[in-house]
Chains A and B, each alone.
Chain A
């Protein structure tokens, strides 16, 4: 299995910590951040192959974080996570700079397939 490093950004710690553990069992090295500020701090020090970013976060919202991530690392693919009925889903249009988006609740295998696709798109 090809391996890659992922950063997950979501303010629901029970969710991201479980996802990180489950990804680990599948050979994917993942870390998490609970808000945009922490994510950007981690990205100052480490490189990731793909970032999974919830659009609704406390403080800085997902779109603002996305722009700052792209300033730090223009080539890293970013997958956005959004809820049912959100403007992103309604418009069926991903924001500029995002690789794609997924709808919560996320199926793990779908997430892995999408992350792998994003990593190989670079």
Chain B
């Protein structure tokens, strides 16, 4: 690779990473905003009922318990979102580290759930319980898998399914992402972000296309010489 092409790639990197980070944090902040809105309105409802109780409406203990349960539910929802965001943010701490791709990708899929819900698409994650740990860049892996999920979401129709699976196949840590196919085979522009991530991960990518379903198979290096290191 020439210095020139290195320069071009470096110029591309911040935009794609920021775009990934922006898409994730925008979705999470919207969901947190909803949680806060619900707690805020439930608190307002409680104030309404207290005020009304002094006049005509009787506030029963069941009603009070139901409201408290609603606040508890939203608090737990908010804490789960924050925990997932925190895990996502810390995945960028080290460019090379030992990690479990299954755990990282489960978290990514949970974060992407809202994006899938917006398109009424089912996003599922599967991982073998004893899946291999690898050494590499977990943030870059998430970005690469996210680019594939995003490519699927861009063409998905209501009730389509996108599945992300982490497994060990032929002794190699492997990620399979399947989803709906475009009308014609995937173009380079559809998968530009994916190819760049694959190269940086030192991974292999195989795309299987048929008119109904496409499968992206990523084979991670066992002991990668991550080019980002």
Q: Name A's B-contacting residues (CB within 8 A).
A: 12, 14-15, 18-19, 21-22, 25, 56-59, 61, 83-85, 104-106, 108
Contact = CB atoms under 8 A, between A and B. Distances in A.
Contacts of A61: 118
Given A83-B33, A105-B40, A108-B41, 8 more contacts: A15-B37, A15-B38, A15-B41, A25-B57, A56-B118, A59-B118, A85-B29, A104-B33
A18 B34 contact: no
B44 A14 contact: no
Nearest to A18: B41
Contacts of A83: 29-30, 33
Contacts of B34: 12, 15, 104
A15 B31 CA distance: 12
Contacts of A106: 37
The B contact surface, by secondary structure, is helix
Contacts of A14: 38, 42, 70, 73-74
A94 B24 CA distance: 25
Nearest to B35: A12
A54 to B, nearest CB: 9
A21 B117 CA distance: 26
Contacts of B42: 14, 18
Contacts of A22: 41, 44-45, 48
B199 to A, nearest CB: 33
Interface in B2-55: 26, 29-30, 33-34, 36-38, 40-42, 44-45, 48, 52
